[in-house]
Amino acid sequence: MAEEGQVISCHTIEAWEEQLQKGNGSGKLMVVDFTASWCGPCRFISPILAEFARRMTDVIFLKVDVDELKTVAEDWAVEAMPTFMFLKEGKIVDKVVGAKKEELQQTIMKHATAPSPAPAPAAAALATPVAAVAEPAPAADPAPAPAPAADPATANV
């Protein structure tokens, strides 16, 4: 891919769907960063993600601004930023919520080297069959969830 070694920003739904299709056909791990310009933890982790992209050219890194692509963020049930979704062959294999550099790096390494698409037991609840253009799992129960405890590594929507 021409974008190898970079974090690819998806500014339109068409660009998002195109990158998902490319990634699904590549057999590579895709790391999707759901972010927001106003999110402090997102600004903290952004240069770290860019460095990972430069070093890990066998991984596809995508960035989605939740304010630009609200429907994508809603479809993927993003509730706090940053949220990182890990996809392999169109399936969600893991998720990291928060600007947690070590956890993010460990999760990338685990799935970049793992055979595809065998999710780890801890990620089994996140694994969802996905269509040719990766589609998120249906929204959970419409009942409101209790408010999560404040976590300085995340910014709630």
Cα separation of 98 and 86, whole Å?
14
> Does the annotation mark 39 as catalytic?
yes
Q: Considering only CA atoms, which of 81, 76, 103, 107 is closest in space to residue 94?
A: 107
From the candidates 7, 39, 53, 123, which is the catalytic residue?
39
Q: Judge contact between 49 and 7, C-beta under 8 A.
A: yes
From the candidates 7, 42, 64, 73, which is the catalytic residue?
42
> Does the annotation mark 10 as catalytic?
no
Distance, first Cα to last Cα, the chain: 33
- Fill in the DSSP letter of residue 84: E
Give the catalytic positions in this structure. Answer: 39, 42
